[in-house]
Amino acid sequence: MTVQGPGRHEARSNCAWAKGPERRDAHPLADVQPGDRVLVRGKLADDGKSVVAASVIAMKKADIAEKQSREREEWQRHGFGGLVNGVDAAGSTISVALPSQSEKESVAIHLSKETILRRMLRIP
């Protein structure tokens, strides 16, 4: 798909975790690189293959990787992860196999009525 701008070509970078004016600074179109992620608002052409963009928000590939790295570190500090190897809905328990080099180790996760179970969305 081709994205066309109406005359003035500038993109805005988006750093969702930044505060203040640096969150969405204007940048020249040349700053957008392969691997960056963009959100485009505009009108889809009749051929369905191009968009006249009203706005483009670009997220740098490196910024996305940095955020994902920080989130991974946060998970490692305050929790653990593994593969679910059993669920007891009646007992509100999930059995998780922990990654281990030697023997298989399992942990039982007990959920209270106040526990919120969320599913993470996958970003394509």
pTM of the model: 0.46
Q: What is the reported pLDDT for 23? A: 53
Judgement on whether residues 13 and 47 belong to the same structural domain of the protein = yes
| pLDDT value for 17 | 46
d(Cα 42, Cα 80) in Å, to the nearest integer? Answer: 42
**Number of structural domains in the chain:** 2
Is it the case that residue 1 has pLDDT exceeding 60? no
**pLDDT tens figures, 82-108:** 889 999 999 999 999 987 766 778 889
Q: With 60 as the cut, is the pLDDT of residue 26 above it?
A: yes
**Residue of 102, 57, 109 lying closest to 83 (CA atoms):** 109
Task: Say whether both 59 and 88 belong to one domain.
Answer: no
In terms of residue numbers, what domain contains 97? 80-111
Examine the domain organization and report whether 56 and 103 are in the same domain.
no
Q: Return d(Cα 44, Cα 2) in angstroms, integer.
A: 10
- Annotate 7-66 with DSSP letters as a single string: S--EEEE--TT--GGGGG-EEEGGG--TT-EEEEEEEEPTTSSEEEEEEEEEE-HHHHHH
Residue 121 lies in a domain: no
Same domain, 57 and 100: no
